[in-house]
Amino acid sequence: MDELTTNPYDDDKLKEECGVFGIWGHSDAAAMAALGLHALQHRGQEATGIVTTEEGRFHAHRALGHVGDAFASQTVMAGLRGHAAIGHNRYATTGDTILRNVQPLFADFDFGGFAIGHNGNLTNAYMLRKQLVRRGALFQSTTDTETILHLMATARGGSVLDRVVETLRQVEGAYSLVCLSKDMMIGVRDPNGVRPLALGKVGEAWVLASESCAFDIIGADFVRDVEPGELVYVDGHGLHSVKPFAPASNRFCIFEYIYFARPDSVVETRSVYEARKRIGAELSKESNVDADLVVPVPDSGVPAAVGYAAASGIPFELGIIRNHYIGRTFIEPTDHIRHFGVKLKHNANRAILDGKRVVLVDDSIVRGTTSKKIVEMVRAAGAKEVHMRISSPPTAHSCFYGIDTPEQEKLLAHRYSVEEMAKLIGVDSLAFISIDGLYRAMGGEARDPVSPGFCDACFTGDYPIALVDREMQGNGGGLSRLWEARA
C-alpha cells in the first residue's frame, strides 16, 4: 500500500479556497470585519488580513495564522480606524505562506489608495503577468491577485469603477472580489459566478461576505447573493449595481454544497445543511446496503449521513469521535510516532462499532490516504463489515478555479475504478453518488451536458472557463502550481 502513504496528519481533503468580507458605514468596521472573518475561518487558515479606511487614510494589519490570534490585540484593533473595512482569510494553494502574499493587497494610485481581497483563481494570470513584466511592472508578491492591481495601474479609465471594469474584462477565471477605496466599497463576481459572494446589511451599514454565516455573527441581515457578472458598490449615496460584462452561463461551484461552505450558511438561495441531507438521501436510494449503523466521518460527513440514515431507516450513530483541539504543529510527525496516524484527529467509538455492520459516510475521496486509515481504525474497533458511501461523485480531475487539488495523477479516482479503490481502501463495498443523483439532490433533473447549471469539472472534466495558462504551460500540473498563487 505504499501508493497510499502520506503524512498521517494530512486531512486528505480538497482545501478550502479563501474567505472575503467587507463592510461600509459602520463605526466599528474593523471589529465587524474580524468577527466576520472568524466565521469564515474554515475557508482559509494560513493567514488573514484587514484593511480599513478613514478620511482618505488607510490602515492595515496582516498576519500568518488564525483570525483569533491575528486580531486578539487591542493595540492592533485600535490601529484599524475607519468606517469601512475589507478582510481576507487565505489558504495558499502551494508553496510557503509568506507575509507579502497575505491579502488584502494594497496599492497607491493617482486616485488614492485601493485594497483588494480575492477568492478564486485567474486562469490567464500567468500570461498577463509575463506581459506586464515585459512592460516594466515590478511584482511584489507571487499571487495572481496582484495582476489585477497592475492592470488597474495601466488602465485608461479615469474613475475607480472604470479601471476595475476595464481590468476585469481582461482577466479570465473564477473570482469573487471585495475592494476598498477612500470613496467606496466594491464587490464583484465573475460572469460564471463560480465563487460565492453575498450581500447583507446591519443597521445602515452594507456588508459583503463569502457566506451568510458571516452575517449571523455580527447580527446582519442577509439581503441577497451578488449575481454572476454583477458589480455592486457602496458609497455615500448608498448601494448601486451594474452588470458590465457579457452574460455567461451560471456555473456555481457545486462542491460548495458538498464540502466547502459551512453547513449553517445559505448559498445561492439554498441551505447548505439541507442540501447535504438531500445528497445523503439520494446516495442511500442509489446504493443502499444491509447494515446496522450509519456512521459519519466527522465533521464534514455528518449532514449527508443524517440524510442517508433517514432515507434508509438504518440508525445514525457517532461511531467516530473527532478531537477538535489538534493543532497543525501539535507534534512533529517523526518516524517513531507515525503509527498513531489519524488517531490524533479521530478515534473509533468501540462501544458503538463492535460487532456491527457499518456504513461510513464521507464527502469525498481525494488520495484515499485518510479513508484507508479510518477504515482500519473502524475494523480494529470490532466492526464486522465496513461499507463506505461518498456524497460526491469520484474526484477524477483537478480544479483550476481556486480549489487546491492534487495533480490529476495523484487523485485516486483518476487512476482506479471504484472496485479497485474499494480494495485499496479496504472496505467491503464502496459507492459514490452519481452525477445525475447529485443534480437531483440539488432540486433538478439529471445533469444537462449542454447547460449543467454548476461547475462540476472536478467530477466530469468539463471546464467552463478557458484554461489559458495551463494550455501555455502544457499539461504539467495545475495553474496554482505555475507560481505560488493563493486560492
Q: What is the spatial distance between Cα 110 and Cα 92, in angstroms, rounded to a whole number?
A: 31
The candidate with the shortest Cα–Cα distance to 364, out of 343, 393, 336, 406, is 393
State yes or no: is 18 an active-site residue: yes
Handedness of CA 73, 76, 78, 83 (dihedral sign): negative
Q: Which of the residues 14, 18, 161, 375 is marked catalytic? A: 18
In the numeric block, which cell numbers belong to residue 199? 450581500
Do residues 421 and 430 touch, judged by C-beta distance below 8 A?
Answer: yes
Q: Is 399 a known ligand-binding residue? A: yes
Q: Is 213 annotated as a binding residue?
A: no
d(CA 245, CA 169): 7
253 assigned binding-site residue? yes
Question: Residue 118: phi, psi to the nearest 5?
Answer: -135, 130
Quote the Cα angle for 383-384-390, to 5°.
Answer: 70
Positions marked active-site: 18
Residue ranges at the known binding site? 253, 300, 362-363, 399, 455, 458
Residue ranges at the known binding site for [4Fe-4S] cluster? 253, 399, 455, 458
Residue ranges at the known binding site for Mg(2+)? 300, 362-363
